[in-house]
Structure formats: C-alpha cells, structure tokens
Structure 1
C-alpha cells in the first residue's frame, strides 16, 4: 500500500521523487499480501467556465506574455507549447533554467526569467497587459525577486498544484489544472492576432536578441567562457544533451547560446554545485546514441568529477568542458559587491586537471587562449570521450570597480 501510494504521489501534480522509509528488518520479511496496483492520476483539465474565461482574457490582451514552466518538460509538452504559442501568437518566456522548453531561435521566443535579466527586458515584461503563467510555481528567481508580475498587471495562473495558486501573487484567474490539458481546451479558440501584437512580439524578440550578443573582449587571465558557450551551440547535434553545473561559467549557456528541442539543457534549478558530471553520465547511459556535453567549473569538478570513472567504466562518450578560474566565482562576485577586495574562502588550489582526467584514461586537451578554440571545436566534433581544461578568465565576470 505504501509503495502504491508513493507511485501515486510521484506521478501526481508535478512529477517528482518520493522517499519511502522502511525499517531494515521489514525489508527482509516475506509478505503474503497481494500486490496493490498503483492508482495513477490522470491530467486534470480546466472547467469549461475557466477555459472560456482564459480564452476571453487572451482575446482581449494587446500585450500578453506566456510564461512557460516545468509542466512542459517532456517531448509532448514542448510540442504542445509551441503549437499553442503559434496559434495564439503569444510571445513565450521560460521560467528559471528552462531554456529547452521552447526553440530559442523562434520569433516568439522572448527569453528567460533568470538571474540578472537586463533592465530593458524587465521593463518590457512589466508592460505586459496579461501574464499567462502556465505550469510554473512562480518562485523567487522566475518572478525576479517577487517583483513580477507587478501590482496592477493582469495574471492568469495555471498550475496542477493548487497550493501554489495565490501563494505569492493574487491571480485574476487561478486554475488548478494540468497546463497541457488547459491549452488543449483552447486549441480551437485562437482568433486573429490584434493589430499591435506583431509589433509587441517583435519588440520582445529584439530585446532578447540584443542580450544574446557576445561583446568581444580579451583578458590576461584566460578566456571569457561565452566564447565556449557559442562554440558549443555551433557543434551541438540536433538532439544533443548539454549538462551544466552551478556557477558563473554557465551564465552564457543560458543567455548567449540558443537551444532548440529536442536538444536538452540540463541544469540545477536549485543552484547546487556538483550536478553537471553525474547528470552527464546519467544522460549518456539513458541515451547512448546522443551527443552529451558537460560544462562545469573547477569547484564542481572537485565535488563530483570522480563520476567520470563511471562514464569510462560504462563506455559512454561524454565530452567534458572544465572551466578553470581558480575560484568559487559566484560567491566571489557577491564578496566583491558587498566588501570589495576582501576575499574569503573562495580561492581554489586546483590539481592538474589534465593529469587528473588522463588518470581516467580520457583524452585531454589544454585550452589556454582563444587561439586554442579551433582545436576544441575539432575535439567536440570527433567521436569518443574527451576532456578539455579551459583556462577561464575570472576578471571577465567580477564586478568592475
């Protein structure tokens, strides 16, 4: 019964893990009870009244924006989201670190709600006359520190978990329903887009594209990691899986590079370090025929980089890009902002990562400057595993004094 209940909890609302704690002696016992089938909940659709109200709100909006969240994190979910946005001509912004929900090259893609959004983008989002939040909990980073949607902005919030409706933001329309079932209910309701919608969509798109530009820069202490992110964008296979650890090195992968389903960008929404390498190994084991690229910092590598041994043992060709700047840079940035010049506990004394990766019998490459990037591109395009130790600039990310 407990196992059946755990399955139901794991699959209900937003799918996720469930911990089932049993005494060790109970696990060793034999049980004559018959198995209890799990009752898996189906997708909860909106009521006809709620669907009609939502359709009316969308028809009346001049400057809407669709905020897409975790509920679309499946192949069918991405396809449904794209079809809905195109039918209603809605600009789409994705919640924190969900860039792979919607093709970033699409004219309707307006960017993400993440860390340090540019002022022009935040100002434009604040002008929306309707925010349609679909399948997202509206957490602190996605809402830009609980500031968006702003007071006075109309909000329609659709979430399968009713406890998150009205949790921080009162919604004019709050629907406790499955996001995909909700847009399916509106599939045949899309009218012709209002006259001003094209200009609104184009404006949001232009702001996003301006933020994607990589400003050329040379630094004496290494490469700006945005150069590596753009290189990965170029060489990534159409169905590539890119995993990221937590850290400042990952920022250009979210903002400067573009991702298109079925490509996946797997990153820790929790911000916890140590995610990148285990995630890459798991992805490569699950999808052995897909290209898997892992980018991680030196701090994350020192935490869980040893999982490279599993990749070697199982023969999965993970590509490892190790950003080496000798610092817990995310924390260092906060130190420099609050207490300039007072560095405390954020400097790393790294091992020789080339020898470390070689000890796992993985081919290695040293990337010391921009002149080495063509060699890195060649290595990423070649079959088989590889690891690159990339001397990355800390100056490029620290606040300017």
Structure 2
C-alpha cells in the first residue's frame, strides 16, 4: 500500500488548510504514504465544487454518505462544524474508514466517548486535529521536559487571545451558536491549550473556572466562512449562546499548577497562542506568533549569563527541519498540518494508532466539561469524576 485515498468533509478554513497539507506531503516527505485527494464534500454543491477545483480534489459531492461505500476512500477527514462530527465519524468507522477529525472532538464528553468507542470497535486508525503539537519549537519544549533539563515542573500558564469578534456588529456566525459549536472560546481556543498541557505536563486532576459573554446579541449573517461573515440587510439579530472568554485554574496530577485563558476579546491580539512553563532547573516560553522560536532559561547557567535565550528551532536536530528549508529559514502555520498528517499516514503504514488519537480528544473533552461544570456550580471539579 503506497497510497491513502481520502474523502474530506468540509471545504472552508480548515478544508483549505488540510488540502494544502496533503498536497505538500509528497514533495517534502517523499517516503511517506502518498495522499490521494479523491473526494471533497460540502453542503453547498456550487461552493464545494469551486473549492474542490481550487484545492486540487478529483471529485466533489454534497452528501458525506456518498463516501462510505466507495472502495476508493480509505480515510475520512472531518473538518465540518462541530455538531456534524459525531454522526459522520461513527458512520465512517462502521464503514471501516480511518478517521481524522478536527477539534473539539464533539459537542459533549458523552458524544466524544461514543466516537472513540465506535473507532475502537471498528479497528480503524483515529486522530484528532491538535495541530499545534507538531510545531518544532513546542516539540523542543517537550524534549527538554522529558530529558529532565527543566527539572520538576511547577507551573504551566497558557493563553490564547484573539479579537476578531470585538465589534458588536460582527454577525452571529456558527462559532457563536452553542448548538453547532458546543462552546465558544473555551472549546475553540482553550481546547488547544488543554491538549498542549496534556502533551507537555500530563493529566489535569481538577479545575475551577469563570466565563463571560460580553455581547449577548448579534446581527444575523447573510453568509459566513471560516472566521469571516457578511451581515444581512435586515436588522434581525440572534442570541450569542457561547462564551466570549473563559479563564480557569488547574491542578495537574503531578502537582504542577496551571492557569488557562481563552478569549476572543483581547484587542490587539490576532491569534496569540502562548504558554510558559517553570521548573526547578529552568523555564521555557512559547508564542505561536513567533512559532519558530522558543525562549529557554536554565538556572544552572553561570550568574553573569542568567536569563532567557532565544532558540531558533529551524535547524537539525530540531523536528522536521531536514525536510523543509535551509538553516534559519522559518516555517509557518500550514506546516503544522503537514506534520500532523505525516504522523497519521505513518501510523496507517505501520499499523499503529497515531497521536493524538480520539483518546486524547476524549481526555480534552473531559477537561472542557469539567470547566463548564465548575462555572455552573461555582466550585472545584475533579476531572476524573466525569
């Protein structure tokens, strides 16, 4: 088997990102299985046809069920809105298709567990879209932790700040509707922070949070796509039913403390995805707006050179650096998806489960639900109790 045949459900922001990643794989990772972009699916037949032509897909359809019985589909890539994930994933698993699903995995913890159970019962490969794990600088941070070079970990503080909906006249897109998105800043942005904390630090044992929806009503959109929308001609509005911002505290199973902030109301921050980790021997700071860099401090350095140093994670032996550009030449957001799909295709080729799998998606969903429950009950919630 040298090729993996793909059917993709979704064609907007994430659909473009995934398509670009599939197209890059054979050029930069020639020893990987080759992705064959066979069918792209979306509800608007005219729009998905245009996207399919632009992105390089062979065929298009408006019904994802068309993908299930086709022998030329091995993997179904789900990047449709969150409320569609469960039905598509379970049906695809029963049809024997491998799965890649964007985060958050589902609208609820119960739904995510059903998805995992279906995938495990079918014996298919399953992966959730936590692409930031595949940033070389973040992988360097993990290496430093695993090698003990930061010592005992005391603190993980993380923040994901955006400002794209600060204007009250911005329309009521699907990401602001609970029945479609599940939650707002918490599930969209906070999920990435939670997964990175699991990847770098370990399991979260308990949480307590607070949230706010600053703009309660918004104009209804004429059309929307990705993170943009066009307001309709009427004055009709609808309620915002998700959080605009959520903050929570966490305690990790290993004793470390965590602080998390996810907001779409941090004016001046387009997409500030950052964390700082403090240990007994040193610290690291990461900011995705400078994604090729990791700020590193080692307490054992001589006193006259103590402080954070800038490490550029673009040269060997940093992850993936030998596949891309000459030393010092940066990579971008889109490359994280290429690295994620490289992991998925390698797992298919070697008959193993990729990471992060649906199991990690469920673990993240468990924390999301614990945070929501803590906000509702105004108290600490044990994650393992859910």
Instruction: Identify the TM-score tier after normalising by the shorter chain.
Output: under 0.3
Under a length normalisation based on structure 2, what TM-score does the superposition of the two structures give?
0.27
Which structure: greater strand fraction? 2
User: What TM-score do the two structures reach when normalised by structure 1?
Assistant: 0.27
